[in-house]
Amino acid sequence: MKTCFYLLLLMLCLELRAAAADTPAMLKDTEGPTAERLAELTKLSVKRTPIKLEEYLAKVAASNLAYAAQRYNVSIAETAVAAAKLFQNPVLQFSNAKDQTHNRSQQLAGYYQTSISQTFEMGGKRTKRWLVARQNYAATSATLQSFLQNLRLDASAAYADAIAMGKVASQFKRTATLLRELLKAQEERQKAGDISDVDLLQTRVEVRQFEAELLNAQAQATSAELGLNTFLGPQFSGTHWYPEGTLDVTPQSTELFRLLSSAIRNRPDLLAMRHLRDAALANINLEKAKRVPDVTVGALWIQNTPSYNDVSPQPLYNAAGVMLSVPLPIWNRNKTGIAASEAQASQAQLQLENAEVQAGVAVRQTLALYDIARDRVALYQGGVLKDVDAALEKRVLSYKRGGSSLLELLDAQRKANEVWMSFYSAQSDHARAVIELHRAAGIWIVHF
């Protein structure tokens, strides 16, 4: 028996040592990132790399660190499902008693006792606990899908902004080029004595003003392009992308019924809430099963040591027995646990219904905003752009022939510039309206 006792102590020490070895060491580097990590974060590329939306979104899903961190929630929920099906560990006990009053040959008998017991969950608790864990796992998976969907749509919006800023910069560049050509013509005319110094100075001021605005537009376009890296991992932090595409975006559907049906059926946040509701309902059955007491069954072995005490001699003998332990559910029938789980299930159902109502409102709101954005773009494309370009061209010809003043020409150029800026703004708003419509309806795909 003493050998068994020492073996048990040795096993306990080995288990404690293994647990200490498995404990992750604390991070020692508290001064900042490593040299390799710092080089990765600070690398710089001056070359602009073209990228299409589908390729960009694939890189976002593969490298975004926030999404990678969210994926661990699914792994954690998966381990909870596996843990829910495990049986309870058996319990091994060892005890020893020895007479401390007498010594040597007069010591009274002592004993060594070893027992092992196993608790069996009754009432189907293990299965019901597994069902709850499965629903929580499904809810976590749907939440991850919701995170990815929003990430993709946010990245698409940033992509659309970069396209719009690039178009604005291109428009300012065209304007600046036109004014530079006008400035050269004005210089030639001033030398010939056709115009005064005032007209030349006025033209030069306008050119410098537009060049300043061009630099500002180019800076905003560059900032928008660099902002695409916000959704990518550190391996792309030094890459300068520029988007390849247009802002001609068309939603998958504009029919209200189809959009509402898609939102109710497909939105991953609503799917997650349904799984949470189902988990709450399954938890009611688990709490009811807890009313059934668990049964603990065990076996024990006892060895009484011999005693040669003059008053109470006792021979060496061994004894074996069985144990059965069942708690009596007299005072606690788990009524509070059942009541709490039923309240949580009712709460989850109401939260789901409220979310479905909010989803319907969001679909209607985003559809109305999309209709307005579409009409704005159609208004410009229906003739406004052609008219303003034609008006500017006629004004240039008129000025060259002496039929218009310089101020009238510059005013026409400003008006044309404002119209094109408004058109690009309308296109950007239209693209964002499509993205938000898809977000509200639970649609992932956006093409432009």
- Give the pLDDT of residue 408: 81
Q: Using the CB atoms, write b or e for 160-171: b if 16+ within 10 Å.
A: bbbbbbbbbbbb
Q: Compute the average pLDDT of residues 91-105.
A: 90
Burial of 185 from C-beta contacts in 10 A (0-12 / 13-18 / 19+): middle
- Give the pLDDT of residue 43: 57
- Give the pLDDT of residue 445: 83
Is residue 199's pLDDT more than 70?
yes
Q: Compute the average pLDDT of residues 30-51.
A: 63
Is residue 38's pLDDT more than 60?
no
Is residue 146's pLDDT more than 60?
yes
Alpha helices for 27-124 (secondary structure H):
35-42, 53-63, 65-84
Q: Compute the average pLDDT of residues 290-294.
A: 93
- Give the pLDDT of residue 27: 41
Q: What's the pLDDT band for 14 if we cut at 50, 70, 90? A: low
Determine the distance from the C-alpha atom of residue 228 to the mean position of all C-alpha atoms in its chain, rounded to a whole number: 17
- On whether the pTM is more than 0.85, the answer is no
Domain 50-86+124-292+358-441: give its CATH superfamily.
Answer: Outer membrane efflux proteins (OEP) (1.20.1600.10)
- Give the pLDDT of residue 12: 56
Q: Compute the average pLDDT of residues 10-34.
A: 53
Higher pLDDT, 282 or 405: 282
- Give the pLDDT of residue 105: 84
Q: What's the pLDDT band for 172 if we cut at 50, 70, 90? A: confident
Is residue 280's pLDDT more than 80?
yes
Is residue 204's pLDDT more than 90?
no
How many Å apart are CA 333 and CA 12, to the nearest integer?
37
pLDDT tens figures, 223-235:
999 999 999 998 8
How many Å apart are CA 280 and CA 346, to the nearest integer?
9
For the chain, the average pLDDT equals 87
Burial of 116 from C-beta contacts in 10 A (0-12 / 13-18 / 19+): middle
Can you tell me whether residue 100 is helix, strand or coil?
coil
Q: What's the pLDDT band for 37 if we cut at 50, 70, 90? A: low
Q: What percent of the chain has pLDDT over 70?
A: 89
Q: What's the pLDDT band for 128 if we cut at 50, 70, 90? A: very high
Is residue 307's pLDDT more than 70?
yes
Domain borders along the chain are: 50-86+124-292+358-441
- Give the pLDDT of residue 379: 92
Is residue 327's pLDDT more than 60?
yes
Q: Do residues 149 and 300 make contact, with C-beta atoms less than 8 angstroms apart?
A: no
- Give the pLDDT of residue 22: 52
Task: Taking the CA atoms of 170, 173, 178 and 181 in sequence, report the sign of the dihedral they define.
Answer: negative
Q: Compute the average pLDDT of residues 373-388.
A: 92
Q: Compute the average pLDDT of residues 7-36.
A: 54
